[in-house]
Each structure stands twice: as C-alpha cells, then as structure tokens.
Structure 1
Amino acid sequence: MTTLSCVEWALRAGGWRLRIEAHAPGVFRLRCGPGAWLEPGKPTLRAQRQADMLLARQEAVGEMECQAAAAGGWRLTQGDAALEIGGADANLRLFRGDQCVARAHLPVQPSGEGAGAVWPLAWALEPDEGLYGLGETQGSLDRRGERLVSDAPEDRSLPLAWSPRGWGAHVNTLDRVEHDLAADGSYAVRTRGEGLDLFLFVGEPSEILNQYTALTGRAGQPNLWPMGVWLDQAPGQSAESSLQQIRSLRSQGMALDALVLADPAILGFQADKPVFEWSDRVPNWRGFAAAAAALDVHLAGSCIPGVLQGTPLFEEWEDRGWLLCDADGNPWICSGTPASGGRPFGLLDLTHRDAARLWTERHLQAVEEGLDAPVCQAQFALPDEVEARGGETGAVLRTAYPHLARRALFDAVAGPRTPQEGVMLSRDLFPGVQRFAWQQGPDVSNGWDGYAATLRAALSVGNSGVAVQTHRLGNSGRPTDALTPELYLRWLAMGVFSANFSFQGLPALMPDAFDADTRALIAHWLQWRYRLLPYVAGIIDDAVRTGLPVQRSMAQAYPADADAHVWDTQYLLGPALLVAPVMQSGGVTEVYLPKGDAWWDLSTGWRYEGGTRWTVRPGLDTLPVFGREGHMLCLGPTAQHTGEINSARILEEVWMFGMPEHNPVVMRNKIRVMQMQGSSYIKGLEGLRILPSEGLEVKRRGAEVRISRAR
C-alpha cells in the first residue's frame, strides 16, 4: 500500500506489516506488528486515553516520495530528509541531504509473542558522536556510557535521544524501554510490546525538539508571577516566620514573589469525608492567605494523591474500588513520603474517572481559597503486581501514574482559564512531562559540585524537550558549611539568568546569613532578575511555539561546532544571550564563544569573534554574559514583586548587539525589525531607552526607530 503520506509492506504470514508514515516535515513514524495491532478497529476508552498521554497530534501531516534505493530496498524522501530501508531485516539509514547521519539494525520479528514481545534496535554510532536527551542527568550531558530503564524512577529517563549529527529517535510507548549506551560504537534500545512504534527525526537539534514537542505536547504560557523569585519554606518553619522573612527581604530591597510551604502536605482529605482540610500547621489558613496576598506573595504547597491508611475514608474508598490494589485485590499501601509526614497511605486510582475528577475538583476549591500552585511528587516505584481499575500494571502503570496526577492538578490550576495560565510543581519525569509547567530541580549538596549538578540537570532536561526546570539555591537538608559568600553569589547569578530559582528558608541559607557587602550584591542580582522578566517570559512564550528550552546546551544550540560541545556548563539563555557561569572559586574562568556568530560582552560592550576562547576575571557583581550579534535584549523595570510591574508598560530599555536583524524575544510586545539599504527600521520601541552598540546611531521617526552606521 502506498499513499502520499504512508507506505506499507506485508512482512510474513500471519498478517504482519511494516508501515512508515511521513508524520511531519523531517519526521518518519515506523510501526511494525500484527495487522490487528496496527488497525485494532474502534479503540477502547483505555487505549484512547493511553494514546492521548503519549501524543498530542495523532494524524500524519507530511508527504513523501517512495522509490527504489540504489543500494537495494526503498528510499522514502520528504524534502531534505530521507529514510532508506531494506535487506532481509529492516536495516535503516537516515539521510540529511546527501549525508547518511544514522544507521540502525531492526529485526522485523521480535523475540517472544504478544504483549511480552521484545524489540531490539541497535544504532551504529561514530567514534566521536555524542548522544543527548534521554532525561535528567547531573553528570555529562553526552549520555554515552550509561544504561537507563524508562520506568525506573531513579533513572530519571525521558524518551527522546538525539545526535548533533542531525538525527533523533523516540519509542512511542508507556511500556518499558531500555537504553544501553555503554557499548563502544553502538546505542542499543530494547522495548516491549506486541508491536513497535518508533519516531525518527532528521534535522538540527532545535528542529528535532520543535517536531518532538509538537508531536508529544507543549505547556501553555504561564502568567508573570511564577517568573519572579521563590522562597522554599524550611522544614518545621511556621507560616508567620516565613512571612517575616519575606518582609525582611523586602525591607533590604530584595525582591520575591512566591512561597513554597514545606512538607508535610498543606492540605489533604478529612478522615471521614471526601473534602479537603488545611493542615493545622496553619491554624488560620484564610488569614494567612490574606496576609500573603497583602504582600503580593503567591502560595504553593504539597499534596498527596491518596488517603491515609486507617481512616474511615480509606475504608470507604477501598469498598468503592478507588484505590490501586495489589495482586490479592487489597489496597496497595505506600509506606509514607515527606508529603504524608511519613504516614502510610493508599494511592488514588487516577485511571478511575470519578476519583480523578474528585481530586481535581478539590484542588480547584483550594486554588479558589488561595493556593496558587499545588506541589505533588507522584512517581512511585509501584511493584509489578499493583493494578489499576483500567487494567494498567507494571511498567505501564509506573509510567502513566505521574502523568495522570500532573494532568489532574494542571486541570485544577489552569483548566478553568483561557488561555491556560497556571503552574503546578513536581520532580516527576514521564513521557509528555513537557506539557505541564513547572519542573522542579534536584536536591543537591551545598558546594560547588551541587551548583554544577543543578545546572547540568536543567540543561539535560532541556535537551529532552522540557522547556523549564528551576534551581534551588542550596539545600536545607544538607550541611551548609561549604556555602561561602562567593559560591552563594555565583549560584545566585546563574539562577537569575535561568528559567527561575528559589531561596531556601533555612536561616543559614538566607541572604540575612551574610555580611552587608554580600547582601548588597544579592540585592544587585535580584534587581537584574526582575529587569530580565520580559525576556525570560518571552523565551517561555517562545517555547510554546517552538518547544525550545529556556537554558539551551551548547550541543543543542551549536551542533556543528564540536569544540563547543565540551563546554557543558555554558548555555544560551533564549536566542540572544550566551551565559558562562563561574563554576569554581577564585574568580577566574574560561569562556568559549561558539563559531558562526559574533558576541558582545554585556559588561564591557566589547565585541568578540566566534570560535575564540577567553580567560576572564569577573567580579562578584558580574557574570560572563554575551549578546549574540544581530539580536536585542529588552529589559523591564526593577521591582520588589511582579505586582509592581505595569503589564501595559513591561519594557523600559533595549540593548542592541550590533545591527539588529532579528525580532526580539519579549513577552506581550510586538516589536518588528526590518532591514533596508544597510539600516534597520524597528517598530514598537515607543518611549523606550535604546542603547546601541558602538558605531551605531539611533534616529527616531515617530513610531519608527532607524538604526544605522554612525557617520
């Protein structure tokens, strides 16, 4: 069978088929299996829900040509991308133009039968070829040498793998996928299931991320306050003491927008009724929420997707079948988490529509009572025998459950709004996680190693399709002796030039713990954060359209510059800024400026050619940040919280890096750049202060600004 978007082969007796679709430009979908698996008829409700978890776009939208390949087999071409397949087995070759960028071996017959079948796929890698994505790591961003299992929570795995050579792959399943990158010269993938569903991508990494997130879903644009500074309450700290910390910061000129209440959960089901009650840690929630609102502080707090064991409600829901059960039909008991205060509880079966709807509705009520963002960790190491009402068990249930929990909470905070503005916080990773804002960073040590770990974690999930992962400035649960003023300020500066970060409420980790000079520098960096908000918000808005992360690794942003890939603690913040955080004590660091662009130092205004390496000595009030030539940086006013920012006048100043060639990334503003006769004409800069690069001059013409060479 052949159409403009699909080619299909009959493989052997029994109705087995291989189907390849031009799913989107540069994207091939390969499915192999029994005909009954490929075309099951009208899908069951369970099958449709699982398909919706995996793909936001089911239908193929591309077109391709099919012809015989010169080396035998068949060549499928769409634009610059081509897939050759042929031989006794399905040997795959991906092409970008005339260059073969990837080769793989895929037996068309799996080992085993039915749902227990195992499909082995082996990619041949070049000796110097890096492989990126596949979830969160605190080590090297190049994942070669690792072994990962998709449903093992400790592996922090995500489905997408890609190479700077110009190809990527994604196995589309909720079942177990094993990634073995430890062997020399190969990348082995083993996936389980009756059939194989594999997406292949050809193109630049940025285009691969674009197509992958268009396929699997993207988060909406949150409102402005989540991009302000956060404070994580210390364990055991009272609500009033946290508000007092915020008042103290504000009195010292330090900005802050949100407070995350510490575990245990701030709300949960009553013992005998399916309604929420606020924790007695906040005896007067309404009064506390009103006091926070008076300070323009938004509140977040954790919850558990379950009901405490030994309560009448537990017994009632056991009778209703609303809890996940073990092999004997008894509720599976989680032994306790920080959110439950260590108390055992039964997990709500979120595959049950009534249970999921109730959990969403209760959180919607909590949002109406002043909870701005729920926090939930729902990635449990569920034993294979645990089963949901819909029949999900094993790896499928372990993968699907955190998605169901995140979806239910996102519906509570964002579903009632148009557009869907809202965030819920979680560390959970699962296929499709990038649909939901906001991803939390890891708990790390309070030393230089911890600082590097949180940065690499954010860059690695960005390589995997997650647009936003935040950072914690320190860890309340670890010794604080190593967190010197120098490290604190370097960590803070990186957090300012990131998606976002949070202070830790432990007194030893608060700005008040440091001397007056250090506190003045902290206030300096927080002013920078709020001036950057229009740009950071614009990057997140851009992610809604492109799927690109806020912090972009060098391998993702500059795949053709192999020298740049080893600089895995440098990153692009959006399209316009290169950030090179200082990662060791002493104040001396090296910076590599990637090839293909010229760069302007934000601190000095000096211009540097790309492909060069420099040793710099930034003071504690300076971070090595370079503007990309042809781009602009739009800055807003300083503020103590986002409530002080006039949404109608969010911009104050524009910095230009050479002659403007690109429209700036900025929230809720339409600024357009046009070139003509060696000059740039820009609309939308009315009332803004403009700082051109050296050698350029600014002339205003009513609503239009002309940038030209100085005479």
Structure 2
Amino acid sequence: MLFGREPEDCAVPPKSDPAHVTQLTSLKFRTVKSTRADFSIDDLLLQVEAHAPGVYRLRCAESKVLLDDKPGARSRAHAEMLLARQEPAGELVVSSVAPPDPQGWRLTQGDIVLEIDTDPFQFALYRGEHCVLRSEFCAALGRRVAGDVCTWRLGLELDCDEALYGLGETSNDLDRRGEHLVSDQPQARALPLVWSPAGWGLYVNTLGRVEHDLAATDPDTYAVSLQDRIFDVFLFVGEPVEILNQYSALTGRAGQPGLWPMGVWLDQAPGLSIDSVLETVEQFRADGLGLDVVRLAAPAVCGFQADKAVFEWDTRRVPAARTMLTRFQALNMQVAAPTFPGVLADTALFNEWEDRGWLLTNDADGSAHRFAGNAMTAGRRFGLLDLTHKDVYKAWSERQRQLVDEGLGAPDCDAQLDIPDGITARGGESGATLRTLYPLLARRALFDAVAGHKTPQEGVVCSTDLFPALQRFPWQMGPRVPNTWAGLEHTLRCALSLGASGVPVQMHGLGSAGHPVASMTPELYIRWLATNVFSANFSFQGVPALLPQAFDARTRELVQHWLQWRYRLIPYVLGIIEDSVRTGLPVQRSMALAFPADTLAHAWDTQYLFGPALLVAPALHEGRDIKVYLPKGDAWWDLNTGWRYEGGTTWTVEAGLDTLPIFGREGHMLCLGPTAQSTGEFNSARILDEVWMFGMPEHSPVVMRNKIRVMQMQGSSYIKGLEGLRILPSEGLEVKRRGAEVRISRAR
C-alpha cells in the first residue's frame, strides 16, 4: 500500500478533528486530461490539476459547482482578485498503482509526484524518491455543511522537528508551529501562504474564513479549516525560493516602486504643523543628510466634503495644497498623505449616499452602518464606501488620481477594519469574506489611481493592511514599535515574516512617535539606523527627540555616515525589488528562506540575507560584540576587512557604531551608486559608481535597470556593463579591461 499503514487503523477517529467534519474516504477515478484528473469522492467531485511545474491544485465540491462553465460576474471578479494566472500551465501524467498495493494513482510532473490512495482517501507528495508531505491518515479531507456554511478540513502530518513559515506578520519566532490563526481577524495579521523547509508549501485560495491550526491542538498535525462552497488549495513542491516564485506567479507579483520612494522618508509627528515639517526638511538639507519623502500624519488630509461629493484637501490642516506641494518640490521632496474610503456620519453627503446605496449597510434594517471613529477620522463616526459597487470604486479611485495629478506622491490608507457580521456589501459579501475583501479593494483602487495610467505600472501606496495577493501592491508599512532594543527586534522580525509570506517590501520606522522616547539612547539610535539602511527602506520620526538634531555631534556624524551608505545602496536595493517582479523574493530574506538545507542557520533568525549578495547580522543589544553564523555551502567576504571565511562557521565580530557585521556572498558583486542627498541628484546616465567583488564573479549583479552581465570561461569571468566604474576585486584577483569588456582572473 502507498503509505505503509493498516486499513483497520481508521477505526480510531483522528484526535485532531475539532470541527467534527465528515471524512471523505472513498475515491474513484473518473477521467483524465492533459492538465487534470477528475475523481469521485463520496458524493462529490475532486479535481487534481497540474497548475504549473511543481504545483498541484486540488478542488472539491458538488459536480454541478465545479463543472459550471458560466460562473457569475461576482465569482469571476473574486477569482481575478486572488489569482493572476487562472489557466493551468503544467502537464500531468496519470498512472495507477498495481497490486499487491491497494488501488491508488500517481499524478506525475517530471520528478514531482502526487500519490493518492483511494480507500481510504489520502495523499502524499514526492520529489524524486523523497516524500516531502503526506496527509493525515484517514483524515485527509473532511466536510461539514451547516445551513449555508460549508466548512472543509485538510489534515497534514508533520515530522516532529518540522518548522512552518509564512502566514503573515509576527514579532515572535519565525517558525509558526504551535500557533492558531484565523484569517479574517485583523489582529491575526494573517496571509495565506505557508511553507516548510522540508520542501512543500500550501496556499488556500479563498476569500472566506481560513483557520490554521499549526500543531496547536495536535502536536503532529497541521489542520487547515476553510469556509467556502468549494475546497480550493494549491500544493507547491520545491525549495522555498521556488515556492515563492510559483506562488507569486500564481497570485500576482509586485508593481515597480520607482526611484523616489527608495530615498529616506520623514514621518510627520501628530499635531505638528506643515511649516514645522518644512523646517525639519530644511535642517536635514543644511546638515547634509539625505531625505526624499514626507509622510503626513493622520487624520486624513483629504476627503469628501460634508455636504457634497467633492474630494478636496482639508483646509484646516492644509490651507493651500498647491502651495504646500510646491514648497516641498522646491526641496526635492515628495509627499505621501493619509486618505480614507469613508464619509463622516450624520452629514448631508452620508444621508445622500445612504439613500443611493453607496455605503456598507446593516442587514437588519438596510441602513448605512455607522462605524466608530478612528485616527483617520479624528474620532468621528463614519460610513464606509461600498467598494464592491463599481461606480463607488471608480469614483473613489478617480478622486485619488486627481490628487496624484496635482502632485501628491503617494496615498496612505489603512482600511483593514473589524467589520462586524450582519453588514453586507452590494455584491452580497459579508462576514469573513467582506473583512478579507475590503482592504484588498481599497489598496487596488489606490494603486489604480497612482499607477494605472503608467506602463509598466509604477508607484506606491502606503498601508499596513494584510490580505491575499498583497504582494501586487507596494508599499508595505511596518509596525509602530517601542523605542527600545525589543522594538528594533520586533520590526525586524515582522519584515522577515512578511518576506517569508511573499511580501517583498516592508518599510521600517526609526523608532515611533507613539511611544516614550527616553529609552532611545544614541547607541540604540545608530544601531537601529544601520539596520534600516540595509532594508527595503525606512523613515525618520518627526518627533524632535527622535530626529538627528536631538543627539550629540558624534551621533550626528554617524547618522550622516549611514545615510551616505543608504543612498549608495539604492541601485542595489531597487534592483532587488525589480528582481522580485520576476522571482517573488523579498528584500530581507530569513535564514530558513535563503538556506533551507542548513538547519543550524534557521536558529539565527534575526540575521538575514539582504538581496542575493549580502548577509547582515544586526546589533540587537548593547555592546560592540556581535555573533554571526555564516551559512554553509558558500564562502563569505567581510565587507569591513576584506577577509574570506568558510561557511558553516560561527564568529564573534567586534563592530563599532560605524560598522555592522556584513558579509558578501562568494561569486556575487555589490554595485554601489554615488553619494547623494536625494534621489533627485541621481544621474540616469551614471547610476553606478563602484563595484565590489566577492571572489571570482559568477552571478550577474542585482542592480536597477541591470545591464551588467557575467560570463565564465576557462577559469576567468568576462563582464560587460562596467564601463567607467571603479572595480574593487577580492584579494588574489586581477582586473583587465578590453574595451567594453572586463576580464577577472586569478593573479599570477
């Protein structure tokens, strides 16, 4: 038999079945096509599809539901929001398992095999001869129908030491095993992708509620429960980087951010005036400190008027919007401003749009729901625009585009609200589906406003919201954390966990205006800044005590030192983000993601791979001594000393405040730009200034608008695209230029 267990074991009900679902047990083969095999399972239809190489899609429901050739407009719209690639691109070879084993089936894609046992139904995934995942014995798939709610349960067995990564944001251990997450609870900060370094991943394709029991109930079982009329999951097989690649190709990849968002940001402190912010920007310029973007604080500085459907700047905060934008532009500064898809309650416009059906409504009486006030509305109650209504969606998106056309750099909007049950949108969405769908619609409408008229799409929308297919819409803002060493670690872990969940970028704050500032010592401030420099990006906080000017002269010198590093790194960082459009890989990559085979590396879960070329070990405590583990399989070059270290080794590095333990990965290059104070100073004809090499170059470098190519031949590397650049080779290598080509070879 396929799984080496005796059939009579099924007499013992699985202990990890809290939903008391009815297990689907009896499977019969029906038909096969080039990309799909159909089975009858009890009284349902199970479709297994080769969606892409190494990707299987499992769908189960009543036959009439799965075989419906004409799904409604609402179903099609939901499908397009979740999946960028609807049609399968794989090829499936189906063969039966011959006696003496019980009847079963092998569904093969190259060296990837999905084996299915028919009675009882269970499955296992193989890569070559190695089993990477198997379903729970006698409890692979269950179903329960209660009224209009259909709940499915998928049970997967876990090895005793198997780790689970992804599933959204966490400030704790990156291994999510032992947790229980509910997708539509905003506080859960959940995303739908989970993967294991053992070589498999899972994506649950639904807008409905999904509960992930990550061995919290049963220490040996990962149980997924989802509420939808169709059971629809994707199984991935491969290394984590391959899984992220396939996942992002399936659900959509990031848009381009452009150049100016890569510069340093400044967050306006709540209560401070625009004039005060401008004075801070001028001080940065006078001190020679890099800065590119100002992000205005809540409440929303633009919105619909109380008595008419006109979307305008709030004149109480921004008396003359055009003048404000002109003043910032004169300083080479872009502006991000908070906005919100709501209408203040008990106003003439609220009443008008309630009558028109443009607001989310209460099921009980059909009235527009009045939400409690929040920071965006300055505490005033509001109604939410029904963005499922195409006219409302279009109107709100077009109003945002007007602001962008006037000179606004980016909108800033958090719309992930705990929408109560009993509230329904025009499209019929309510409950968990509406809670999941709403922030997706809000972000998409804003991204359409910013980037929809550009080809390729380029631009950013600032938000902390998490939802399926989030990675399509940059720019993800980080958490507000205390001004402590623990706060620094918190924001770092959030970025690494989001990266493991398929989100390429998280912005960090250098401290937080919402927490006491007394604990922000000069040492912590510089260590935090240094870590932020080696990230996707970050923002200063506009509180006087958290600005560089609040610190002593030596600290200010260090701030300038690290900001110069930041602007020199921009071509590399933007190159990583541009690469994520093709690969789905994040800027900051956890050890488990980058080195799945090196289990020792996984324990070092606050150091990270920064793009493909650099390993960063941030300082998360006081003192100069920092421990770093260099993953095995590669050699590593210390950026500070130029020394080479073998992988699989642990070191204690003494790092002053002007350094961090940063190591270049052998075979890679780091391309640096010139020193600048803003991205407006970048010369498009000379983006790069210098190239650092870590051993013999083997890989083309990651860099914005990459035109540098490496070719190896007869023990040397030949590189095109380095004209006019300073080249710093590793010790033992020599550089010879031959016209447009550079030859790197061993020194004789």
Question: Scaled by the length of structure 1, what TM-score is found?
Answer: 0.99
- The match for 1:141 among 163, 174, 182 is 174
- Provide Cα deviations, 1:494-519, integer angstroms capped at 9, x if missing partner: 10000001000000111111000000
- The match for 2:330 among 280, 294, 309 is 294
Is 1:216 equivalent to 2:247 in the alignment?
A: no
Q: Is the 8 A contact 1:10 1:18 kept in 2?
A: yes
In structure 1, distance between residues paired with 2:459 and 2:295: 15
- Equivalent residue number for residue 235 of structure 1: 270
Q: Is the 8 A contact 2:141 2:155 kept in 1?
A: no
Q: CA deviation at 1:90?
A: 2.9
- Equivalent residue number for residue 26 of structure 1: 54
- Equivalent residue number for residue 305 of structure 1: 341
Is 1:225 equivalent to 2:260 in the alignment?
A: yes
- Equivalent residue number for residue 586 of structure 2: 549
2:351 maps to a residue whose letter is E
In structure 1, distance between residues paired with 2:673 and 2:531: 19
Q: CA deviation at 1:395?
A: 0.5
In structure 2, distance between residues paired with 1:574 and 1:36: 47
- Equivalent residue number for residue 362 of structure 2: 326
Q: CA deviation at 1:89?
A: 3.8
- Equivalent residue number for residue 54 of structure 1: 82
Residues 499-508 or 63-72, more deviating: 63-72
Q: Is the 8 A contact 2:194 2:203 kept in 1?
A: yes
Is 1:99 equivalent to 2:130 in the alignment?
A: yes
Compared CA separation, residues 244 and 546, structure 1 to 2 (3 A)? same
- Provide Cα deviations, 1:522-542, integer angstroms capped at 9, x if missing partner: 000000000000000000000
| Percentage of identical aligned residues | 64
Q: Is the 8 A contact 1:89 1:108 kept in 2?
A: no
In structure 2, distance between residues paired with 1:188 and 1:542: 34
- The match for 1:123 among 126, 143, 156 is 156
Q: Is the 8 A contact 2:624 2:656 kept in 1?
A: yes
In structure 1, distance between residues paired with 2:409 and 2:317: 18
- The match for 1:636 among 662, 673, 678 is 673
In structure 2, distance between residues paired with 1:194 and 1:89: 23
2:624 maps to a residue whose letter is G
Local SS of the residue matching 1:371:
coil
- Provide Cα deviations, 1:157-187, integer angstroms capped at 9, x if missing partner: 0011100000011111000000111131211
Local SS of the residue matching 1:330:
coil
In structure 1, distance between residues paired with 2:97 and 2:288: 68
Is 1:511 equivalent to 2:571 in the alignment?
A: no
Q: CA deviation at 1:635?
A: 0.3
Moved over 4 A (4+): 106-109
Compared CA separation, residues 384 and 211, structure 1 to 2 (3 A)? same
Q: CA deviation at 1:709?
A: 0.6
In structure 1, distance between residues paired with 2:587 and 2:385: 34
1:179 maps to a residue whose letter is H
- Equivalent residue number for residue 525 of structure 1: 562
Question: Scaled by the length of structure 2, what TM-score is found?
Answer: 0.94
Q: CA deviation at 1:588?
A: 1.2
Q: CA deviation at 1:115?
A: 4.5
In structure 2, distance between residues paired with 1:320 and 1:117: 33
- Equivalent residue number for residue 150 of structure 1: 183
- Equivalent residue number for residue 657 of structure 1: 694
- Provide Cα deviations, 1:206-248, integer angstroms capped at 9, x if missing partner: 0000000100001121211101100000000111110110110
Is 1:259 equivalent to 2:281 in the alignment?
A: no
Q: CA deviation at 1:284?
A: 1.2
Matches for 1:71-470 after TM superposition, within 5 Å: 71-72=101-102, 73-105=104-136, 106-112=139-145, 115-181=148-214, 182=216, 183-279=218-314, 280-327=316-363, 328-470=365-507
In structure 2, distance between residues paired with 1:8 and 1:409: 40
Q: Is the 8 A contact 2:606 2:618 kept in 1?
A: yes
- Equivalent residue number for residue 36 of structure 2: 6
Q: Is the 8 A contact 1:114 1:193 kept in 2?
A: no
In structure 1, the gaps of 5 or more residues are none
Q: CA deviation at 1:80?
A: 2.1
In structure 1, distance between residues paired with 2:148 and 2:678: 53
What value does the CA root-mean-square deviation take over the aligned residues?
Answer: 1.0
- Provide Cα deviations, 1:578-621, integer angstroms capped at 9, x if missing partner: 11101111121100000110000000000000000000110000
Q: Is the 8 A contact 2:113 2:125 kept in 1?
A: yes
Q: CA deviation at 1:87?
A: 3.4
In structure 2, distance between residues paired with 1:423 and 1:107: 42
In structure 1, distance between residues paired with 2:389 and 2:230: 27
Q: CA deviation at 1:641?
A: 0.3
Local SS of the residue matching 2:144:
coil
1:283 maps to a residue whose letter is P
Compared CA separation, residues 359 and 89, structure 1 to 2 (3 A)? farther
Q: Is the 8 A contact 1:377 1:426 kept in 2?
A: yes
- Equivalent residue number for residue 536 of structure 2: 499
Residues 30-39 or 607-616, more deviating: 30-39
- The match for 1:614 among 643, 651, 660 is 651
In structure 2, distance between residues paired with 1:603 and 1:631: 16
Local SS of the residue matching 2:71:
coil
In structure 2, distance between residues paired with 1:669 and 1:108: 47
In structure 2, distance between residues paired with 1:311 and 1:369: 27
Q: How many residues align?
A: 709
Q: CA deviation at 1:40?
A: 2.3
